Structure formats: structure tokens, C-alpha cells
């Protein structure tokens, strides 16, 4: 039985995109880099048994597309601006088709509103 006082086990996976020029997270075109970014970026991935899985990078590179200012480079495992991997979002969206939002949020250990936001975003990006 899980206790709210005991932290859940978390499996951290370090990820990085392939070498090469960075791609803009807004337009998808190759752009020169601006800097290595600051801090650590993390994305929530699908659970692995009783372990929560988080994908993270030490540095999130940034680029400078024309007229857009400095933006974080696109990563192949997540949508721009999302804190979840594409696989996690796809699982959440599918679960929302077979269960209600409260059940999905409890099953995936996310807030009720987060489950709805993911399903809404996934619906608009998968078209």
C-alpha cells in the first residue's frame, strides 16, 4: 500500500537529441544555436511498473529563428512547451476515450485538469 508520506520511486532517464543543427520548436527549420540554455529540462514519461519515469536533459539548447527571438530547440520525444513525452500524451488521450477524466488522472498520477489539457492538446496536434 502506498503511503502519502513515502516518496514514490522515480526512474530518471537522461536523454539527448542526435548531433546536428538544432531545429526551431516553432517552425521546425534548422537553425544555428544560441546557447546551451540554463537548468535541467524534464518530461514525464509512461510509468514502468511501480516506477514513475522522467526523461531529462542537463542542458536544453536554444536557437534564434528570424523574428521570433530566442526559443528552446525542438526535441523529438515531446511537443513544444509540453512537460510530457509524446508517448505519455498519446496514452492519456487514448485513456480519455475509454474512461472518465477523474479515473484517467488517478491512473496516470496527474492532476484532473492536466489530463484534460493533454487530451485537448493531443486532439489538436494529431490532426
Q: What is the model's pLDDT at position 104? A: 94
Do 89 and 126 lie in a common domain? yes
Q: How far apart are the first and last CA of the chain?
A: 41
Do 67 and 96 lie in a common domain? no
Do 3 and 64 lie in a common domain? yes
- Most distant CA pair in the chain, distance: 53
CA 51 centroid distance within chain: 17
**How many domains does the chain divide into?**
2
Of 40, 58, 75, which residue is a domain's last? 75
Do 44 and 98 lie in a common domain? no
In angstroms, the CA 62 to CA 38 distance is 9
- Per-10-residue mean pLDDT, the chain, length 127: 57 76 79 77 85 79 75 84 91 94 92 91 74
Do 66 and 88 lie in a common domain? no
pTM: 0.77
Do 4 and 61 lie in a common domain? yes
Do 56 and 95 lie in a common domain? no
DSSP-based three-state secondary structure for 36: coil
- Give the dihedral sign, CA 112/116/119/121: negative
Q: What is the model's pLDDT at position 88? A: 93
Do 7 and 64 lie in a common domain? yes
Q: What is the model's pLDDT at position 3? A: 45
DSSP-based three-state secondary structure for 82: coil
* CA atoms within 13 A of residue 101's CA, in its CB half-sphere: 10
Do 29 and 58 lie in a common domain? yes
In angstroms, the CA 18 to CA 43 distance is 17
Do 60 and 114 lie in a common domain? no
Do 50 and 29 lie in a common domain? yes
Do 45 and 19 lie in a common domain? yes
Task: State which residues form the domain around 41.
Answer: 1-75
Amino acid at each position: 500500500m502506498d503511503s502519502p508520506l513515502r516518496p514514490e520511486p522515480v526512474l530518471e532517464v537522461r536523454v539527448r537529441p542526435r548531433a546536428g543543427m538544432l531545429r526551431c520548436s516553432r517552425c521546425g527549420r534548422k537553425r544555428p544555436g544560441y546557447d546551451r540554455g540554463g537548468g535541467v529540462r524534464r518530461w514525464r514519461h509512461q510509468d514502468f511498473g511501480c516506477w514513475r519515469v522522467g526523461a531529462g536533459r542537463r542542458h536544453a539548447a536554444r536557437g534564434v529563428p528570424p523574428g521570433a527571438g530566442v526559443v528552446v530547440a525542438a526535441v523529438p520525444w515531446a511537443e513544444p512547451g509540453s512537460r510530457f513525452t509524446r508517448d505519455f500524451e498519446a496514452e492519456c488521450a487514448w485513456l480519455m476515450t475509454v474512461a472518465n477524466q477523474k479515473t484517467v488522472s488517478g491512473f496516470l498520477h496527474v492532476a484532473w485538469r492536466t489530463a484534460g489539457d493533454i487530451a485537448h492538446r493531443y486532439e489538436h496536434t494529431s490532426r
